[in-house]
Every structure is written in C-alpha cells, then in structure tokens.
C-alpha cells in the first residue's frame, strides 16, 4: 500500500512540468525559446520514469475516485511516448509559421495530464474531468494557427461537436447515476444490466459519448475538418493523443464498468467497428490529399481497435477476454507512433506554407530525399500492416483476439479492410518511387530535430516489428491488471 500522494506521483510530476514550462516561457528571450523543447522532452522523460514507481501498486486511492493499476501505467507510458514525439515533431513546423512554441508545449502538456487522469479514473466523475482536461487543449491545438481560417474553422467545429458529445456523455452519466445511485465504475455494471430499457439507454449514451472521442463512424464528422485545419504535426498529435485517451475511456467504462454485461453491448460495438473501418477506408480511397487521406485512415484504425473491444465483449474465457484488451493496448501504442510520424512527414513537405501536402508533393520523393522516402515507406507499410513492422503485429493481435473470441466474421471484415487500405497507402509509395517529381517540387523541411524524431519513430516501428516480445509482455502484464 502506498499513500494517495505517492500513488499519483506521475500526475504530480506532469503538473509540475506544465507549470515549469509555463513559467520558464515567460522569462526566455525570443531567440532562446527553443530551450522549451528540450525542457519539455526531458521533463516528459522524467515523468515517464515516475510512472514506473507506481508499477505494480494496483490500488484505488482518494476514496475510490482514482485507481492506480498497471493498466493505467501502460496508458501513461504510451501518453508520454506520444507526447515526446509530438514535442519533437512540432517545433520546426511552428517556427516556419511563426507560431509560439511555449504555448504549444503548455497546451500539449495540459492535454497529456488529462489523459493521465482519464487513464486512472475509477469513477465516472473523475473520468469526465479527465476527458474534458484532455480535449479542451486539443480544441486549442486544432485551432492553433490563429491567422489561418481553416485552422480556426477546424478548431471551432471540433469544439462545438466535442461539446455536443460531452453533453451526451454527461447525460449518459446522469442516467447511470439515476438508475444505480452510484458513479463508481466497479458498481454500475451489474446495476445497469438489471435496469431494463432505461439501463440500455444509459449505456447507449455512454457509447456515443465515448466513441465520438475515438472518431467512430457515424460520430466522426469532426475528424476530417479538424485534422485538416490543424497545423500538420499537431494533427499528428490530435489523431493519436485524444484517441489514446478515448480508448482509455472506453476500456475503463466498458472493460472496468460494463465488462460483465458484455453481451449487451457487444453487438453495437461490433457493428460500430465494421462501420468505422469500412467508412474510413472507403472515403480515404477517394482522397488525393495525403493529409486528408491520413485523417480518414485514422478513422479506419479506430474501427480496428474497436474490434478488439468487441472481441473482449464477446469472449467468455477470461484469457481470451484480456486478449481483446491487450490487442487494444498494443494497437493504440503502435498506431500512435506510426501515425504521428506519418503526419509529420506530410508536414515536412509543407515547408512552403502554401503547399497542402497533396499526393503530387510525394512524386519522385525517392530521388529527392531517399532517406525521407524510405522512412515514409516504412511508416506506410506499417500502417498497412506489413511485417516486419509494428503495424503488422498490431493487426495480427486484433485478428487473433477476434478469432479466439469466436467473432471470426469481424476478423474477415478487418482483413478485407486492410486490403482496401493497402491501396491508398501503397499509392503514396508508388508516387514516391515510380513517379517523376513535379516541375516545381515542394521544398523539404530538413530540420535535424524533426529528422531525429522521425528516425526515432521509424527505428521504434522496425525494432518493435522485429522484437515485439518486450512490448507484448508489457501489454500482457498491464491488461492483467484489469481483471
């Protein structure tokens, strides 16, 4: 047993870091602002380290509102990884557009702290607070380019629709409380199932509210607009960070809370998964703008991950049930790294702010920047799910989980969708390697920081594709904390 404050050491560290960055930013001269990036990154590294101090604690604190278990540690570590990548990828892009680095770092860190709270909540109230703490800064990031009307528009839409979804979620929470007289995740499950139709309405609202954040069809409308408007590396973060949080939320609500009544919500979740992956892929097929294509494809990935949740709901054997959760964890982490990096490559081709990252910008990239093209190829292959990349094992994990859970039709849907997705991912590779460059090719951002972050991501993707074992054992140990 540890006391309450030691249990939330990572949260405390992160909050201290936010305040530190906020303060330091005030005292730095304009030409020294770059220091904020190393401070943020090293600070996050330290926060990641503190996460290990609560590994294996597995207890609830603060009178049951907060829960520190290995699952939450996994989500926090993943959050830190994504945060570090986001902090490394963004500065060069922001500098080209004269956007303030300090504000970005602070907003990013606030959003991360929301994800921390979300990951550890054991009560619907904490959950909601964590969620809002995560998405409010995300709205700001979407509209971060204040002088760009697309960015403004995207940010505003994200905010309006996000609030709408939050309202639905909150409504669901009140129904739940009305029916069960409790907001404790560990208590609502059984009571809701006995609640008849009213209980189902509550579950439905919780479903809609939380799948909105994960950008599931048909609650995805905000995604393309918000993603396209946001500064590209920030889009990378938006497409993985809040999604990571959303799945933490889904795992908490549906795994922790409603886990036992899986048969009630399995069907809806499975249908949502198929709708999401198919819808995302089909629209992505039609895109010629790579940024928008990646936005839609990120919707498709949500579908694959939801399939893991459906597998969890359908399985009866405890081992198979956790396999569904393991698949979700593995997928969000792998997807997070590859997607944020893929968006950043698009950003690297937007050194000239008037370029929008269309397919033609990638034409002949292999000749102009062979290493960048190779890195992008690895990322795309990983997103497609081709070995030896982490994307392959992520898909494999979901497939195995669905097949073992006895929902093989979901596995078939995933496989068919992966084939669809291969078309538009590989099309970019075709452009990079087999097309002549444009007459006036887009200038390439070659800042060492971005290159370093890219190298880090690609190395991670390949290493985890070749040696997935450590991460698999990590995921296994974390998911075991749930049950």
Partner 1 sequence: MTVESLIALIPALPLAGFLFAILLGARIDRLPAHGHDAHGAAHADDHGSHSGHGGESHDTHAEVDESAFRPIPSEEEQRATSPHAGHADDLANSNGADGVIPDDLNDGLGQTGHVVEGGPRPVYRSWWVPTALVAVMWLFSMVVFVNVIFGGQTYHVSLYEWIGSGSFHVQIAFLVDGLTAMLLLVVSTVGLLVHVYSIGYMDGDRGLWRFFAYLNLFMFSMLLLILGDNFLMLYVGWEAVGLCSYALIGFWYKKPSAAGAAKKAFIVNRVGDFGFGLGIMMIWTLLGTVDFEQVFASIGTLDPTAVTVIALLLFAGAVGKSAQFPLHVWLPDAMEGPTPVSALIHAATMVNAGVYMVARANPIFAESPVAMWVVASIGVFTAIFAAAIALTQNDIKKVLAYSTVSQLAYMFFALGIGAWVAAIFHLVSHGFFKGLLFMGSGSVIHGAAGEQDMRFMGGLRAKMLWTYLTMVVGSLALAGIPIFAGFFSKDEILGEAFGRGYYLFWAVGLLVAFMTAFYTFRMVYMTFHGRWRGPADAWQHVHESAPTMVAPLVILAVPTILIGLLLGLPPEGGLIHGWLEEVFRGAEEAGAGILPGSLAAGDHAGFSLFGIGGLLLLAGAAVGAAGILLAYRWYVRDPEAPARFVTRIPLGLGPGMYAASLNKYYVDDLYALVWARGGVLLGNALWWVDAKVIDGAVNGAGWVAQRYGALLRRSQTGHVQNYALGMAAGLVVVLVAFLVFRA
Q: Which residues bind partner 1 (CB under 8 A)?
A: 156-157, 160-161, 164-165, 168, 197, 200-201, 203-205, 207-208, 212, 218-219, 221-222, 224-225, 264-265, 267-268, 271-272, 279, 282-283, 285-286, 364, 366-368, 370-371, 374, 400, 420, 433-434, 436-437, 446, 467, 469
Asked if residues 292 and 221 have their Cβ atoms less than 8 Å apart, the reply is no
Q: Is 298 helix (H, G, I), strand (E, B) or coil?
A: helix
Minimum distance, C-beta of residue 384 to partner 1, in the bound complex (Å): 18
Shortest distance, position 260 Cβ to partner 1, whole Å? 15
Smallest gap from residue 335 Cβ to partner 1 (A): 21
Q: Name every residue whose Cβ is closer than 8 Å to that of residue 3 and which is 6 or more positions away in sequence.
A: 61
Residue 53 vs 193, nearer CB to partner 1: 193
Work out the number of other CB atoms within 10 angstroms of the CB of residue 186. 15
Smallest distance, partner 1 to C-beta of residue 249, A: 16
Q: Toward partner 1, which CB reaches closer, 83 or 385?
A: 385
Rounded Cα–Cα distance for residues 444 and 120 (Å):
41
Of 5 and 271, nearer to partner 1 (C-beta) is: 271
Nearest Cα neighbor of 477 from 59, 58, 65 is 58
> Shortest approach of partner 1 to residue 161 CB, angstroms?
6
In sequence order, the β-bridge partners of residue 358 are 289
DSSP 31-98: GGGGGHHHHHHHHHHHHHHHHHHTTT--EEETTTTEEE-HHHHHHHHHHHHHHHHHHHHHHHHHHHTT
Least distance from C-beta 196 to partner 1, angstroms?
A: 9
**What minimum distance in Å lies between the beta carbon of 407 and partner 1?**
14
Name the minimum Å distance from CB 70 to partner 1.
21
Q: Which CB atom, from 371 or from 408, has the smaller least distance to partner 1?
A: 371
Q: Kindly state the smallest distance separating residue 450's Cβ from partner 1, in Å.
A: 14
Measured in degrees and rounded to the nearest 5, phi and psi for residue 257 equal -80, -55
Nearest CB to partner 1, comparing residues 100 and 388: 388
Q: Closest CB to partner 1 among 3 and 440?
A: 440
Q: Which ranges of 181-231 would DSSP assign to H, the alpha helix?
A: 185-193, 196-213, 222-229
Least distance CB 327 / partner 1 (angstroms):
13
Q: Which residue, 67 or 314, has its beta carbon nearer to partner 1?
A: 314
Q: Residues near 234 by Cβ (< 8 Å), separated by ≥ 6? A: 86, 90, 104, 141, 142, 144
3-state secondary structure of 294: helix
**446-455 burial, b for 16+ CB within 10 Å, e for fewer?**
ebebbbebbe
- Smaller CB distance to partner 1: residue 157 or 395? 157
Nearest to partner 1 of 82, 394 (CB atom): 394
Determine the Cα–Cα distance for residues 315 and 280; give it in Å rounded to an integer.
26
437 in Cβ contact with 292 (< 8 Å): no
- Rank residues 79 and 92 by Cβ distance to partner 1 and give the closer one: 92
* 22 cis-preceded (ω within 30 degrees of 0): no
Q: Which long-range contacts (CB under 8 A, 24 or more apart) does 36-39 make?
A: 36/101, 36/102, 36/105, 37/87, 37/88, 37/91, 37/101, 37/105, 37/449
């Amino acid at each position: 047993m540890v006391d309450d404050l030691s249990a939330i050491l990572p949260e405390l560290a992160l909050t201290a870091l936010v305040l530190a960055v906020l303060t330091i930013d005030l005292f730095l001269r304009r030409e020294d602002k770059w220091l904020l990036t190393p401070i943020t990154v090293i600070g996050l590294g330290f926060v990641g380290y503190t996460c290990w101090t609560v590994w294996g604690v597995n207890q609830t604190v603060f009178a049951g509102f907060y829960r520190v278990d290995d699952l939450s540690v996994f989500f926090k570590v993943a959050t830190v990884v994504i945060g570090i990548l986001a902090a490394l990828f963004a500065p060069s892009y922001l500098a080209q557009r004269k956007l303030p680095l300090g504000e970005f770092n602070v907003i990013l860190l606030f959003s991360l702290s929301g994800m921390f709270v979300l990951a550890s909540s054991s009560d619907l109230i904490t959950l909601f607070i964590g969620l809002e703490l995560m998405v409010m800064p995300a709205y700001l990031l979407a509209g971060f380019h204040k002088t760009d009307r697309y960015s403004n528009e995207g940010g505003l839409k994200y905010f309006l629709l996000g609030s709408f979804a939050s309202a639905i979620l909150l409504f669901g929470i009140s129904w739940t409380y009305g029916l069960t007289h409790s907001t404790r995740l560990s208590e609502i499950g059984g009571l809701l199932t006995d609640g008849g139709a009213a209980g189902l309405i509550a579950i439905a609202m919780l479903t809609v509210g939380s799948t909105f954040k994960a950008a599931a069809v048909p609650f995805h409308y905000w995604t393309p607009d918000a993603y396209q408007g946001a500064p590209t590396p920030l889009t990378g973060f938006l497409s993985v960070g809040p999604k990571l949080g959303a799945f933490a939320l889904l795992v908490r609500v549906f795994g922790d809370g409603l886990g036992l009544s899986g048969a009630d919500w399995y069907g809806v979740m499975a249908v949502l998964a198929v709708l999401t992956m198919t819808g995302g892929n089909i629209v992505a097929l039609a895109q010629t703008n790579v940024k928008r294509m990646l936005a839609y494809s990120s919707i498709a990935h949500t579908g694959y991950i939801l399939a893991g949740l459906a597998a969890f709901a359908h399985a009866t054997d405890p081992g198979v049930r956790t396999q569904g959760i393991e698949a979700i964890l593995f997928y969000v982490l792998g997807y997070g790294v590859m997607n944020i990096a893929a968006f950043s490559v698009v950003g690297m081709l937007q050194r000239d702010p008037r370029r929008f990252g269309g397919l033609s910008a990638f034409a002949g990239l292999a000749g102009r920047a062979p290493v960048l093209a190779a890195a992008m190829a690895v990322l795309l292959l990983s997103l497609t799910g081709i070995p030896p990349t982490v994307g392959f094992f992520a898909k494999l994990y979901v497939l195995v989980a669905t097949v073992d859970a006895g929902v093989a039709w979901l596995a078939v849907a995933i496989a068919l969708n992966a084939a669809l997705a291969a078309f538009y991912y590989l099309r970019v590779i075709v452009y990079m390697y087999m097309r002549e460059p444009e007459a006036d090719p887009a200038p390439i951002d070659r800042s060492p920081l971005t290159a370093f972050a890219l190298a880090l991501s690609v190395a991670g993707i390949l290493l985890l594709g070749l040696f997935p074992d450590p991460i698999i054992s990590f995921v296994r140990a974390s998911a075991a904390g749930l049950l």
